């Protein structure tokens, strides 16, 4: 009997996605794995148990995770789930470790080898494994669909015998993967689209989609992108200049979509309450960063708020999960592409090469230790301690010190409770 991959049903009621598809189940079997899918795991993603079974999976129960060599998940397992995991099990998921030190310690104490898929490096080799891009792409699309539903008016210009319906004006703030898809979707629906970003490369990308670019293009703007392709956090001076430029523009918009996120940090505030108050009644703002504190003042996680001047601020959680059937298919392919690199094709067994650049970038815990350089070396968080402050999680430990100070996360400490990820 080969090694076993287990795909559980996500316990979070707000998580409809699943970490496998019938296609990836077939491919996993081709790599030599026995695949067990927990009954009901794919129901919310429109994949019934029968489809997994036809692809070669065994439909099992939650307790079957004890047999697993590999666990594929969407969200980080909580402490209750980890109790059933065998030490040494490879767990691949979106771990959301920033600000969740207690949960990271729990993974280490469980002895699992945890991989955080959102740390996948942005290199050519890893493009097919980039969960942030695959899920953000769908989030950008869904943001426009949600905005159109709340706007309750036509987006394209329509010339009819009864008169002309003007095109909606849409403004996208943050032109990463989500922002680009939002621009493209809004354009396809007929809106007049403008967009802004702090990265110089975004200007050409926006223009290529037929939208107009808006930004303060000073010297700081020219150096506002990291080597990994992410936006840097801008100075307060730049943020003030950019805010002044966009404030007047936003007042004239029908739809605003904000997507600005900085890895490991709270979302930057882009739209103040005063700017929201300047918008026309019936305007809509969709805040895709609401789970990280939000880009919009007044946004409430999980709610659609209507302000006193009639502006709707949409703060849906887990936006990719709102198109779960599509999101799960892409996410499952991301996981398979990564897991395939961890397999010895000749022996058809798991063979993790800890010197591989993808493993180094994504491995969070291993052998009872927190090993990722951004988190290793921190004192263990116990249940009776005060919650870790976000700022502490944002500052990576120096790599040399981390290597010297890796310690097991106090195995005799009481179990820690962790929060589910966004």
Supply the DSSP symbol for 231: B
What end-to-end distance do the CA atoms of the chain give, in Å? 37
* Burial status of residue 421 (CB atoms within 10 A of its CB: 0-12, 13-18, 19 or more): buried
| 133 part of the active site | yes
pLDDT at site 51: 98
Three-state DSSP string of 20-44: CCHHHHHHHHHCCCEEEEECCCCHH
Query: pTM for this one?
Result: 0.84
20-74 pLDDT, tens digit per residue, is 999 999 999 999 999 999 999 999 999 999 999 999 999 999 999 999 999 999 9
| 152 part of the active site | no
**pLDDT(106) > 90:** yes
The pair of structure tokens assigned to 9 is 């049903």
- From 45, 133, 242, 253, active-site residue: 133
SS3 350: strand
- From 46, 86, 122, 265, active-site residue: 122
- From 128, 230, 239, 265, active-site residue: 230
| 239 part of the active site | no
Q: Specify the domain boundaries for CATH 3.40.50.720 within the chain.
A: 4-129+323-404, 139-322
pLDDT at site 118: 95
pLDDT averaged over every residue in the chain: 88
pLDDT at site 261: 86
| 344 part of the active site | no
110-130 pLDDT, tens digit per residue, is 999 999 999 999 999 999 999
| 105 part of the active site | no
244 Cβ contact list (under 8 Å, min separation 6): none
The beta-carbon contacts of 145-152 under 8 Å, at least 24 apart in sequence, are 145/185, 146/286, 146/314, 146/316, 146/319, 146/322, 147/255, 147/257, 147/284, 147/286, 147/314, 148/189, 148/255, 150/284, 150/304, 150/312, 150/314, 151/254, 151/255, 151/282, 151/283, 151/284, 152/282
SS3 154: coil
d(C-alpha 148, C-alpha 146), whole Å: 5
372-403 pLDDT, tens digit per residue, is 999 987 666 554 334 444 434 344 444 444 44
Q: Into which CATH architecture does domain 4-129+323-404 fall?
A: 3-Layer(aba) Sandwich (3.40)
When the candidates are 3.40.50.970, 3.40.50.720, 3.40.50.1820, 3.40.47.10, the CATH number that belongs to 139-322 is 3.40.50.720
């Amino acid at each position: 009997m080969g090694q076993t991959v287990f795909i559980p049903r996500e316990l979070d009621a707000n998580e409809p996605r699943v970490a496998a598809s019938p296609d990836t189940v077939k491919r996993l079997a081709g790599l030599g794995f026995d695949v067990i899918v927990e009954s009901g795991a794919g129901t919310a993603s429109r994949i019934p148990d029968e489809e997994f079974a036809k692809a070669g999976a065994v439909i099992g129960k939650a307790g079957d995770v004890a047999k697993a060599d590999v666990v594929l998940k969407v969200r980080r397992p909580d402490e209750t789930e980890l109790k059933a995991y065998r030490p040494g099990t490879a767990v691949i998921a979106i771990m959301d470790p920033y600000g969740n030190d207690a949960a990271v310690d729990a993974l280490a104490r469980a002895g699992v080898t945890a991989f955080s898929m959102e740390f996948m490096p942005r290199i050519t080799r890893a493009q097919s494994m980039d969960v942030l891009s695959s899920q953000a792409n769908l989030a950008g699309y869904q943001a426009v669909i949600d905005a159109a539903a709340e706007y309750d008016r036509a987006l394209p210009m329509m010339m009819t015998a009864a008169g002309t319906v003007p095109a909606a004006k849409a403004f996208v703030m943050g032109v990463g993967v989500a922002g680009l898809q939002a621009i493209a979707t809004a354009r396809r629906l007929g809106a007049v689209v403008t967009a802004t970003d702090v990265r110089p490369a975004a200007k050409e990308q926006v223009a290529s989609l037929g939208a107009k670019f808006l930004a303060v293009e000073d010297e700081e703007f020219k150096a506002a992108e990291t080597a990994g392709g992410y936006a840097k956090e801008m100075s307060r001076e730049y943020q003030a200049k950019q805010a002044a430029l966009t404030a007047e523009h936003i007042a004239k918009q029908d739809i605003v979509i904000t997507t600005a996120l900085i890895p490991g940090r709270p979302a930057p505030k882009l739209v103040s309450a005063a700017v929201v108050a300047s918008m026309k009644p019936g305007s809509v703002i969709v805040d895709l960063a609401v789970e990280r504190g939000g880009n919009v003042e007044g946004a409430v996680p999980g709610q659609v708020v209507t302000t006193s001047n009639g502006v709707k601020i949409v703060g849906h959680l887990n936006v990719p999960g709102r198109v779960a059937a599509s999101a799960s298919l892409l996410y499952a392919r991301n996981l398979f592409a990564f897991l395939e690199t961890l397999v010895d094709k000749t022996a058809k067994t798991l063979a993790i090469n800890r010197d591989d650049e993808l493993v180094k970038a994504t491995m969070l815990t291993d052998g009872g230790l927190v090993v990722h350089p951004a988190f290793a070396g921190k004192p263990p968080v116990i249940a009776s301690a005060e919650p870790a402050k976000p700022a502490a999680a944002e500052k990576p430990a120096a790599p040399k010190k981390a290597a010297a100070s890796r310690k097991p996360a106090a195995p005799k400490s009481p179990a820690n409770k962790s929060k589910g990820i966004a």
